[in-house]
Amino acid sequence: MGHTAAELKARYSLATRPTICSLDNYLVLPDHSLDDRILAAREALGRDAVILGHHYQRDEVIRFADFRGDSYRLSQEAARAAGKYIIFCGVYFMAESADILSRPGQVTILPDLNAGCSMADMAEITQVEDCWEQLIAAGLTSDKGEGITPITYMNSSAAIKAFCGERGGLVCTSSNCAGAFKWAFAKAPKVLFLPDQHLGRNTACNMGIPLNEMAVWDPYMRHGGVTPERLRAARVVLWKGHCSVHQRFLPEHVDAVRGKYPGVRVIVHPECRWEVCRKADGIGSTDKLIQMIREAPSGTSFAVGTEIHLVNRMGKEFAADGKKVITLDDSGCLCTTMFRISPQHLCWALENLVEGNIVNQIKVRDDVKFWARAALDRMLEIQR
């Protein structure tokens, strides 16, 4: 039976409110013991709250999401969310983007502030600014981006999104990266792509750009470890970053799964290594991978190179259609930072909202928000 807001508040008296608001008291509780409380809190909040869930979330959390998807879809949903509260079950940079795209008066909440992203951490704003200054010194661009268009993957901080927006660049996701490259090359002859070298390399290769026209900028090496001659010859400058989950997949995993399961279709995320993507039958964002499997005929088998929670969920979902979905590597890795969002964190955030307390609000500074919004708006205008 559902509970009204008044009934829910009555359930938690003033005497118990300090216990409700303390996260430590939630973390000791079993996952499924909180299901009814999460549902009751959602009902009490009504249309004031919308829960967004990334595909890599664990089942115990994503089952409560009003919308689920990849970074691109969730950015769209955040931009048009009607609720007062946007509870983002994802990682920090996604919640930042939701706040940037939100309307005045809306509040974005990340249930666990420790849910970060190792890839995003591989590009720090002072490192990017130093790289840009060296590109200017080499005569390859101006401060406004005349000569090189900066593109940052969604998996980056708001500060880096703002950096790109201010210099005429934009944000992209794995869904619309090719569109972002085409848009950028229409403006300037070169692209600086960060922070994921693999997505940048795979996208450029699929557009017909050879590897010898790409250079990798290592922020921990003098001059990025790249000679001026190499920079001048490169059409794409790739930041030396990667996804800790997708980089684990290796070419030998593709060979092994084909040997074990003849006829299996190998599909992978474009954050995987170039050598893996070359061997795959299909490449796509998380939404695209799901679409490939959904549109395949019954009896098709897939080995998927992406985060294990999504693979296992697809295996269960598509078994009813007579399709087999397994991970590309039996030791498939979960996204440990996504995993930090738990039912306990979600329940804590929701029940605090019912009590009138806002916890873990993500709020991007106005000066950063302006240019980051420009970069994100350009992304949303580009076709997938």
Residues 238-259: pLDDT tens digits? Answer: 999 999 989 999 999 999 999 9
Retrieve residue 178's tokens: 């090719």
**Which of 19-33, 89-103, 206-220, 348-362 comes out lowest in average pLDDT?**
19-33
CA–CA separation, 382 and 140 (whole Å): 26
Average pLDDT, the chain: 90
Q: Are 268 and 275 in contact (CB under 8 A)?
A: no
Over 50: is that where the pLDDT of 286 sits? yes
Q: Residue with structure tokens 């590597």?
A: 329
Same fold, 120-243 and 246-327: yes
Domain edges within the chain: 5-115+338-366, 120-243, 246-327
CATH of region 246-327: 3.40.50.10800
- Judged on CB neighbours under 10 Å (0-12, 13-18, 19+), 47 is exposed
CATH for the 5-115+338-366 domain, from 1.10.1510.10, 3.40.50.10800, 3.10.180.10, 3.90.950.20 = 3.40.50.10800
The pLDDT-based confidence of 18 (bands split at 50, 70, 90) is very low
Mean pLDDT of the region 154-178: 94
Supply the CATH classification number for the domain 120-243.
Answer: 3.40.50.10800
- Contact (Cβ atoms closer than 8 angstroms) between residue 78 and residue 101: yes
In the chain, alpha helices (H): 5-11, 17-21, 24-27, 35-45, 59-62, 71-80, 92-101, 125-137, 158-166, 177-185, 197-206, 228-233, 251-260, 274-279, 286-295, 308-319, 343-354, 366-381
The position carrying tokens 């897939």 is 302
Going from the C-alpha of 28 to that of each of 34, 61, 119, 210, 350, the distances in angstroms are 11, 17, 30, 53, 17
**If DSSP codes are grouped into helix, strand and coil, which group holds residue 30?**
coil
**pLDDT by residue (tens digit) across 58-108?**
889 999 999 988 877 887 788 888 889 999 998 899 899 889 988 888 999
3-state secondary structure of 238: strand
